Structure 1
Amino acid sequence: MVKPVTGAQQRIVEAAEPGTGRLSGTAAQLDGLVRRGLAFRHPRPPHACFLTPAGHRLREGDAPAPPPPPDPGGGDRPAGDGGFRARTGVADDPPGGAARLREARAAWSGMRELRRMTRADGATDRLCGWERQHPVRAAALALEAAGFPPASQEPGGYQVRESPQPDAVQIAPVGGTPPDRVEEAWSRTLTEAGWQVSHHQGVRPPGPYLLASPRRD
């Protein structure tokens, strides 16, 4: 059972910076929040702490989730998403809902902060290293945080999948064809999130899809 946070830890969570979720407190207090899965420590100096999706839920008055299990891969999970798994449009996607959307947006905010802290110019309009290594999860996070329903939630929703083309992913409607404006909205969202997007017509499987690759510097 997860121990409740102390009054001091609760105040630290509530005082997190709007948008980024950056925390201020003593090393012991921040370490306590990290152990509870409510915060993560950025891997690069100055090793600042930020709220995870569970931390954001606590700040908003919801009960915090149990801390995520240790990552045996030693860094395979990005610090920016706190272990959040974006929905890609497959059958085993996590369920949706208002709380889920808040988690997605918190994870996207953390990813943008990770971009800022890992670029020399502090820009957030280009993908970071983790996103380039996990393009399916990265593209899916940008779409889910924007509020678009995946194919696992409604017919014609998107499915993000690997592409035969290196460094690219496919985003395709499944179970129905969405209006052109919806597909254009997917394209616009990904473009604003740092992707280079083009429209294609598939043969196997047939149907339209978007091809997205990291925007070049």
Structure 2
Amino acid sequence: MTRPPTAAQRRVIDAADPVTGRLKGTEAQLAALVKRGLAFRHPRPPHDHFLTPAGHRIREAEEPRAPVEAGAPAGGVFAARVGGEEPAADGPGRTREVHSAWQGLLELRRMTNRDGETDRPCGWERSHLVQAAALALEAAGHRPAQGDGGPGYLVRATPQPEAVAVHAPDPGSLRACAATLERAGWQVSEHNDPRAGARYLLASPRRA
């Protein structure tokens, strides 16, 4: 059984950027995390270190978080709004947070996609489908539904592997969400929900 990280290594893991997984620490700490498969050193300058999927799992397994569907930030960590949250103040601060998170995600794509391309989702997005899709929507200016309903998008997990459902209040909004996700590198198809009497999107990260 693999030994858990030391207290010092755990602090480095906990302090990683919540979107990109970029690490800060001493050379010895970072090298130890690489040796244990919890981090990797990027081959391109400036050769920063980032969490591997195993490192992300350790960080998330012990970090108290609200469910992904709730989209609530834990401990002040940025969380994309997936829709259905309690009404929250919007303003320049939130706009900056969303922009920074989206730019960080594009950088993570550049560094972790094999060919360095940023036009398709990366591994982090495939393991955080709901938040990734919601971030793409919010970064493009779409507004999430608040509280128990109202106008705005809702992103929800589905039983299908690598697919999320996106709901919007009207056909025009649904088409706009589809166009945004397609530009962000997602494959999107429109379906009918006979129980709700409404259309919705199924979206999954494009692989090539």
Q: Is TM more than 0.5 here?
A: yes
Alignment of 1:181-196 (within 5 A): 181-196=172-187
1:41 maps to a residue whose letter is R
SS in 1 for 2:203: strand
> Which amino acid in structure 2 is aligned with residue 142 of structure 1?
A
Equivalent in the alignment of 1:140: 134
Cα contact 2:41–2:49 (8 A) shared by 1: no
State, as a whole percentage, how many aligned pairs show the same letter. Answer: 47
Alignment of 1:15-34 (within 5 A): none
CA gap of 1:116–1:94, structure 2 versus 1, over 3 A, is farther
Q: Report the residue type matching 1:172 in the other structure.
A: H
Q: Using structure 2 for the length normalisation, give the TM-score.
A: 0.64
| In 2, Cα distance between equivalents of 1:170 and 1:40 | 26
Please, what is the CA RMSD of the aligned residues? Answer: 3.1
Kindly indicate whether the alpha-carbon contact (under 8 Å) linking 1:87 and 1:93 is maintained by their aligned counterparts in 2: no
Checking the alignment, whether the CA contact within 8 Å between 2:163 and 2:204 is kept in structure 1 is yes
Q: How do residues 193-204 of structure 1 correspond to structure 2 at under 5 angstroms? A: 193-204=184-195
Q: Is this contact kept in 1: 2:136–2:181, CA < 8 A?
A: yes
1:163 aligns with 2:154: no
Change (3 A) 1:93 1:130: farther
| Equivalent residue runs for 1:197-212 within 5 Å | 197-212=188-203
Give the aligned residue type for 2:155: V
Structure 1 runs (4+) greater than 4 angstroms displaced: none
Which sections of structure 2, spanning at least 5 residues, go unmatched? 1-11, 24-38, 64-75
What is the 5 A alignment of 1:83-162? Answer: 83-92=77-86, 94-152=88-146, 155-162=150-157
Unpaired runs of 5+ residues, structure 1, are: 1-30, 51-70
Aligned partners of 2:21 and 2:186: how far apart in 1? 26
Q: TM-score, normalised by structure 1?
A: 0.61
Distance 1:183 1:119, change over 3 A: same
- Shift in Å, 1:83: 3.6
Contact kept in structure 2, 1:88 and 1:159, CA below 8 Å: yes
